[in-house]
Chain A
Amino acid sequence: MTEPWAATGGPRHGGVADDRVTLIDGSTFCISERDGRVRAGHAQGLFVRDSRYLSRWELRLDGVLPEPLTTHGKEPFGATFVGRMPPQPGLADSWLLVLVHRFVGNGMREDIELRNLSGEPVSCVVTLDVDADFADLFDVKGGVAGAKGTVSVGRGDAAIDFTHDAALPQGVRIESHGAAEVSGRTLRWVAAIPPRDSWTVTLETQPFERGEPLPLRHPYGRPVEHTEPARSLREWRERGPRVNTADGDLAAVLRQSVEDLGALRMFDPEHPHRAIVAAGMPWFMALFGRDSLLTSWMLLPIDQRLAIGTAQTLAAHQGAVVNPVTEEQPGRILHEMRFGQSAALALGGGTAYYGTADATALFVMLVGELRRWGLDDQRFKELLPHVDRAMTWLTGDGDPDGDGFVEYRRATENGLANQGWKDSWDGVTFASGEIARAPIALAEVQAYTYGAYRARAYLAGEQGDDDARRYWSGMAAALKRAFNETFWLPDRGWYALGLDADKRPIDALASNMGHCLWTGIVDDDKAPDVARQLLSPELFSGWGIRTLATSMGAYNPMSYHNGSVWPHDNAICAAGLMRYGFVAEAQRVAVGVLAAAREFGHRLPELFCGFDREEFAEPVPYPTSCSPQAWAAAAPLLLLRTLLRLDPELPQGRVSCDPAMPARYLPLEISGLRVGDDELTIRVTEEETVVRGLGTPPAQRRRPDG
């Protein structure tokens, strides 16, 4: 049976073609072509602990690449590449089958098998060209890979050794279990295969750090264990909410969200039952503050476990001291962390890095929202001190010049140059294309900070602390006033993307201001202009809102942050549009993104290219996009909530639901929706909405116009 190369983590058959195969195990992953080849100069290779230990891996038979037939495999860490020797000129068929069994884990093992299917003996020369550049993972993903330090090549007995003379000395040995000739970066065998017989050789790729080999998880001579889907091992399956809709694509997208977020599940060894998820496969298999906070926010109506686990985990690692290397500061919520004694990050070299401008505010917002969804008193009391430490950071170290706006500038050259969600080096630019200079105060960071102030005021009010409620409400009002005075560009009709080091408005037209709608920091009289810009041809591609408008100097639809479309960004923008009453606009964004999901086989990737829908009938994939990616997987759930206009305030015993679902999804029913002690069923038809299950008599509303 031919299956996707990874049962829960791989590209789908159908939809947009994806020619890459990715195998993963812990912090090891290998990206290759569908034939198993790792092509030099591409974002491919074998990565272990954030370094690339193989940058080339090309098998040839008599100097010719095998012709790929298919790829088998249902294990995340293993696959079999099936190919054949290309037929001789003038012949239709080949008699030599090529099977490459690859397994990754702290390195790589590959079993190469040639099967002679003919009645005649076959002989051929097998060569394997390899290389290692030890490039940093993030440099490879960003397309700027290059070894920092000197790479030297040596040869052993049937082995090639690469050594990297750098701050962290690294090496890798590629060893043949079976006699081989070694020449430069090439291993060579002569395979003489009797009729109906086979020839095999096993290769181990073993990384070294500081001279010590990493223990291979699938070494030569050991059979490989097979996996079981973790969910099928449980005798019980917890009954969660069910969505029934007239639109099969919407249902498929939602089902995929569950699969993908479950696949990204991580475990804190100290608290394995706290739900947390990695940001994305394969590049970001670690806990990221911003990603996990937004992902769990998006899930809140359906499941609160992820939000609770995320808040507890981030609280446990909240900054306590000042450390310029990791950019830790008291009260700051981390940017990225990995569990495990041997885990290490490229940024700062430890297990946690704190260089983010927005995670701290998002943490406060999430705790406030959790409370609105009914977070119990005990866990709320445990989180509240962390909320207050976060508030101290927002008004202190987060705003070093004291102008009332949270800003960022990295503390060392190793830190992130940009510390908002558009964190590529060129992710924040002026309309001219000029790159903005730090310290930078981003528009959406002020919006999140406003949301944090309001959340803290809400929590205070809920506790009966009127002084604190008034204080934080006043802080929110002051920030909103200052933001609208400083960031609004009346001659342009949009908000500045941010303020640069000289407090100049960064005047690019970008999606960031959609996040400002989301938290409510936008003045009512400016909201129509914002909505108009977000849906303008310059920003809206037909599949979604671009990160940067086509009219901007830095626009590039194939870039990471300067013109691409990010599903999570769009879900937040849609929520913001709906918040301000722009129903048709929010629907248009939601329908566009969900249509794109259909084209990607119902799995939304991290991002895709920003080409106009009228130019290409299908969305164009971004080459190094994570898939699955946590906040992209969660985005359909926020879109669903947005279209349902579902809003809780459980401590006050209120739930608001006023659906604005496009007709194509109707009728639609959600059953088993846990809201506090109640289990709701919401049924939406074109004529009416029925909500049942609340403690109070069932509410019945007419569907609003629009």
Chain B
Amino acid sequence: MASAPPVFDDDMDPSHLAELDFGTAFAAPTDCPDCGSSRLTAQDAGDRTDFSCDDCRAEWAFRLGRIVRVTAGHAVPEPR
């Protein structure tokens, strides 16, 4: 199929571009951020859903578009 005539210059202000990649925004975590394992399992964590890595046992929570480790047993130092 012939390409359509361009309506935008290549050097158009990039702030005028919106990438509507909802597929990425709505995707569930699939890989452990620590060890990279794909064996990440959703689990009921009381009032939210956490993701547990079957390999390294790290647990993760999703919060406002960010992911955070919630496993208590990981790298917890002694109280100061």
Contact = CB atoms under 8 A, between A and B. Distances in A.
A242 interface: yes
**Interface band, chain B:** 35 or more
Given A237-B24, A258-B20, A667-B8, A340 B65 contact: no
Contacts of A225: 68-70
A340 B49 contact: yes
Nearest to A671: B4
Nearest to A77: B63
B35 interface: no
Interface in B50-70: 51, 61-70
A265 B63 contact: no
Contact of B64 (A242, A263, A305): A263
Contacts of A252: 15, 18
B11 interface: no
Given A221-B80, A223-B77, A341-B44, A267 B26 contact: no
Contacts of B68: 75, 77, 225-228
B23 A340 contact: no
Contact of B42 (A250, A272, A303, A342): A272
Nearest to B8: A244
A243 to B, nearest CB: 4
Contacts of B47: 26-27, 49, 338, 340, 342-343
**Interface band, chain A:** 35 or more
B15 to A, nearest CB: 5
A340 B44 CA distance: 5
A245 interface: yes
A319 B18 CA distance: 39
Interface in A228-254: 228-231, 233-234, 236-248, 250-252, 254
Interface in B1-51: 1, 4-5, 7-8, 12-13, 15-31, 33, 42-49, 51
A76 interface: yes
Contacts of B43: 269
Nearest to A672: B20
B38 to A, nearest CB: 12
Given A237-B24, A272-B51, A306-B26, A217 B70 contact: yes
- Mostly, the B contact residues are loop
A255 B19 contact: yes
B16 A246 contact: yes
Contact of A244 (B17, B30, B61): B17
Interface in A627-668: 637, 667
A226 B5 CA distance: 47
A264 B33 CA distance: 20
A305 B26 contact: yes
A275 interface: yes
Contacts of B64: 6-9, 24, 76, 263-264, 281
Contact of B46 (A7, A236, A237, A340): A340
A302 interface: yes
A242 B45 CA distance: 36
B19 A242 contact: yes
B79 A262 contact: no
B73 to A, nearest CB: 11
Nearest to B78: A221
Which of B4, B29, B30, B43: most chain A Cβ within 10 A?
B4
B56 to A, nearest CB: 15
A220 interface: yes
A426 B38 CA distance: 51
B22 A240 contact: yes
A339 B48 contact: yes
B66 A240 contact: no
Nearest to A200: B80
A237 B22 contact: no
Interface of A: 6-9, 24-27, 49, 75-77, 217, 220-223, 225-231, 233-234, 236-248, 250-252, 254-255, 257-259, 261-270, 272-273, 275, 281, 299, 302-303, 305-306, 309, 338-343, 637, 667, 669, 681, 683, 685, 690, 692-693, 698
List 9 tightest A-B contacts by C-beta distance, closest first.
A221-B79, A262-B25, A238-B23, A272-B42, A254-B18, A240-B21, A303-B22, A227-B66, A263-B65
Given A75-B63, A246-B16, 15 more contacts: A77-B63, A223-B77, A225-B68, A228-B33, A231-B24, A236-B24, A238-B21, A244-B17, A250-B18, A261-B26, A262-B26, A269-B44, A303-B26, A340-B46, A690-B5
Interface of B: 1, 4-5, 7-8, 12-13, 15-31, 33, 42-49, 51, 61-70, 72, 76-80
17 contacts: A24-B63, A77-B68, A225-B70, A228-B33, A230-B67, A233-B67, A240-B23, A251-B17, A252-B15, A258-B25, A267-B42, A269-B49, A299-B22, A303-B20, A305-B26, A340-B49, A669-B7
